[in-house]
Structure 1
Amino acid sequence: MPDYPPEVNEASEKAREARRLFDEVNEKVQDLDAKIREAEDFANSDYGEDYAWAALKDKCFDRNVQQYTYQFCPFGQNTQKDVGAYGGTSLGNFKNWSGGETNKYSKMHFGDGQQCWNGPKRSTDISIECGEENELVEVTEPAKCEYLFTFRTPLACTDPDKEVVHDEF
């Protein structure tokens, strides 16, 4: 490596330090941008009244049925895999609440899963019931590549303080 005058070596060192600082700041900006996008996604998602259903975000629940393990991930993706296998088959990604006007949060719909051989893309409908703990209690396939899960959770239980009481005389 050739010898440079001290002022060139000093300028080169300052340039390296400036690049290092730039990279450090740039990484922090990218991390903050990702956190902002995540917060915006959260704020724009329907987690119900008082964001109660957000308690299930980033959680998954498994159920073994015969040779398969089914995984239900509210607000994420549902999968089916052979018991003990690593990879799985997508049964759909969360699309929307589908419980209708009277009880919107009683059903979830997952669509655009892996294409079924000679059939539609896989999809899952989730029936949500009141239960003492979060638990995937039933998995069925009522039609080819269309799955129905039953999930119990305390979040689906009626709050007695919010029930409308009709007193008639």
Structure 2
Amino acid sequence: MRPEELEAARDRVLSDVVSDGLRVLFCGINPGLMSAATGHHFARPGNRFWPVLHLSGFTPRQLAPAEQDELLAYGLGITNVAARATARADELSAAEFQEGGRLLAAKVSRLRPRWLAVVGVTAYRAAFDDRKAQIGPQRRTIGDTRIWALPNPSGLNAHWPVAAMAEEYGRLRAEAERL
């Protein structure tokens, strides 16, 4: 994709992949420019979301970003803390994270997934004003929905190798299947 096409996607909003009563609603930080330009979540080639989702057992094969709607058949969905597309998550303000957390809580209350999985503990901390949150299940709930903070699958998050990330996502999968 050409740089001008990516730049034209700045501030676009990407549609959620959701339905009522999902097993797990994955929540990204916000769409990147590649995702906004293609209309598909986690679309940047270096993003490890799709491989990790498969390696952790959530999907029987690795889906491509363009196959994102197939997640619904597995009881999975995708949304974001902040709706607008940026080149980097650090372009979002603290106010956008706080408002995103408020809107996300309302969305979760309406859709009632069993688990909300925020991919990026830093995003979870900012959206829910929980500075001490760590990777894993959280004490906070939204109604009956439990929350799990997962490692960010961005290729920039190099201190989480794919195997370790898949193991953590697999912990959530096992817990989601157990309940």
What's the TM-score, normalizing by structure 2? Answer: 0.28
More helix by share: 2
Which has the greater radius of gyration? 1
More strand by share: 1
What's the TM-score, normalizing by structure 1? Answer: 0.29
Bigger RCO of structures 1 and 2 (CA < 8 A, at least 6 apart) = 2
